[in-house]
Amino acid sequence: MSEPLEVVRNARARRARLSVDSATGRVRLVLPPRAALKPALAWAADKADWIAEQRARLPRAVPFEPGMAFPFEDGMLTIVWDEATSRRIVRDGDLLRCGGPRDGLSRRIALWLQREALRVLSEETAEFAARAGVTVLKVAVGDPKSRWGSCASSGTIRYSWRLILMPTFVRRSTVAHEVAHRLHMNHGPQFHRVVALLDESDPARSHAWLRAHGAALHWVGRGSATGA
């Protein structure tokens, strides 16, 4: 099998199981704690055709390259690059104007998006926190592959910067969800009542959007030939 294989031991696993992560494309072999490794690897090698089929279904990578368009809030942004202009990245309607050397362009765009995400999410977190009558110690952004947000008991809320790529109603629903955890650090009935009061749309609609489109957002900014 040509693809790298991640082997994971799971106490709840009853048999060997293969999966292809939709956010990263990694192939994972999950085994019970005491399962023999060698026959499991041989079994996985026999599944090469199945793995290739699953990988073919993965979302298309959208590199940050001149002329490429990617989702941003409720629309799309198209990258316009002119080496002769400033390195400073400027949004101009549905265009993202970029200058400076071609090398490092993808990284500069990613950093711009992260800063924009932090700015917007900080403002919206403060807005929802004021509504809920809670305090948030700190807002931060990262690039987790398994969750869009998390709230620590310390008062820090962390988000995926990729929320800025989502429609506004999905992003704000996620913020409402995390702020509600400042009152209830669980997903019990009281928590969901707070979410229902804070969320301006139906949370089920946001969850449905994430299930349908969330994985594809992890492929935005990937596959760039230069400066990734």
pTM of the full predicted structure?
0.85
96 close to 89: Cβ distance less than 8 angstroms: yes
Give the pLDDT confidence of 69-115 residue by residue, as tens digits. Answer: 999 999 999 999 999 999 999 999 999 999 999 999 999 999 999 99
Report d(CA 217, CA 145) in Å as an integer.
10
CB under 8 Å to 83, separation ≥6 — which residues? Answer: 99, 100, 101, 102
Q: What is the mean pLDDT of residues 152-160?
A: 97
Give the pLDDT confidence of 167-203 residue by residue, as tens digits. Answer: 999 999 999 999 999 999 999 999 999 999 999 989 9
- Identify the CA nearest to 151 among candidates 190, 112, 191, 113: 191
Q: How far is CA 87 from the centre of its chain?
A: 26
89 close to 98: Cβ distance less than 8 angstroms: yes
Question: How long a stretch of residues is the chain?
Answer: 228
pLDDT of residue 2: 57
Q: What is the residue-averaged pLDDT of the chain?
A: 93
